[in-house]
Amino acid sequence: MEFSFYKIRNLQSLLTILPIFIFLSACNSSTREGINEEQFSNYWYQGKAEINVFELRQSRYGEVRPGKAVMIFVTEDFSKSKQVKLDNPEDRPSDAQKVMKLNMTREFVTGVYPYNTMLSVFTPVYDEVRSPKLTASVTEWCGQAFTQLNYKNGNYHAQLFSYFESEGDTEAKINALAEDELFNLLRLNPELVPMGNQRIIPSLIFQRFAHIPLKVEQATISKKSIGSNQAELEVVYDEIGRKLAVRYQEFFPYEILSFTETWTKANGDQEITTAIRSSMQLMDYWNKNESIFEPLRKDLGL
């Protein structure tokens, strides 16, 4: 009887501590290879966003326009079911998914009127699945256009809204790697970017600028070291004449230093857009929305 009681008592102890082990294991587990949890969390989970400002030379209407591009990288808790940011992730842990979010803006002027674009990409940090959501908007004095992609049931459900009659308001289903996701994959670990021939959804901003159908294209992805601990990722589309080159640091946190977009049109004309990083800061900008913080924009070069 004493031996049986001992076994029962130890079984009860095991059942008591087992959930703790399971919880800790779940917190530290990663299904993505190449993510160093300690290194990643020390940088990305310190309650700040990484703000990167670029000197932009945007090609539009046959001319190169000076402007600014900003890439804001930050991690947050994302709802798997609603595909929106969770306000209180601790209340719904089973629905929470840690994502790397990229908000990228471009501002430039064409003649008398301005252009403003914004791209948002939400990429899971630990789950090897497609980015569940991408959005892109283009606003200028003629009107605005908006695109949203939600990944559900094996496809991206795309909704496109535009003031152009020829583009109108449309919906579509497509399934491929999104070019815009590559920026986030680089930040997680460049080794996560697939190489070689790939089926890719071209940049949502490019699709709006070029007024081409939103569909999957064949492209070739490659990367190479270029010295000084830097590398370059290149994406080449033969059919639509687009090439994207992204220069980044080869060591963690794999900062993006510049990007170049080249579009060779059917008539042979080329439009080349370049963006070179001029400043970077880690900042909890959402806590700095009072007028006393406006001088910080000057520090960023904005």
Cα 74–chain centre separation: 10
Please tell me whether residues 47 and 125 are part of one structural domain.
yes
Cβ proximity of 50 and 72 under 8 Å: yes
Please tell me whether residues 46 and 22 are part of one structural domain.
no
| Cβ neighbours of residue 261 closer than 8 Å, sequence gap 6 or more | 59, 203, 206, 242, 243, 244, 272, 273, 274
Question: Could you give the number of structural domains in the chain?
Answer: 2
What would the pLDDT profile of 127-186 be if each residue is shown by its tens digit? 999 999 999 999 999 999 999 999 999 999 999 999 988 888 999 999 999 999 999 999
Please tell me whether residues 7 and 79 are part of one structural domain.
no
Please tell me whether residues 74 and 212 are part of one structural domain.
yes
What would the pLDDT profile of 23-52 be if each residue is shown by its tens digit? 333 444 457 888 999 999 999 999 999 999
Please tell me whether residues 205 and 138 are part of one structural domain.
yes
Please tell me whether residues 18 and 138 are part of one structural domain.
no
Cβ proximity of 261 and 241 under 8 Å: no
Please tell me whether residues 169 and 20 are part of one structural domain.
no
What would the pLDDT profile of 183-213 be if each residue is shown by its tens digit? 999 999 999 999 999 999 999 999 999 999 9
Please tell me whether residues 183 and 218 are part of one structural domain.
yes
**Residue type at position 188:** L
Structural domain containing residue 36: 31-300
Residue with tokens 């901003």: 205
pTM higher than 0.75: yes
Please tell me whether residues 56 and 92 are part of one structural domain.
yes
Please tell me whether residues 22 and 155 are part of one structural domain.
no
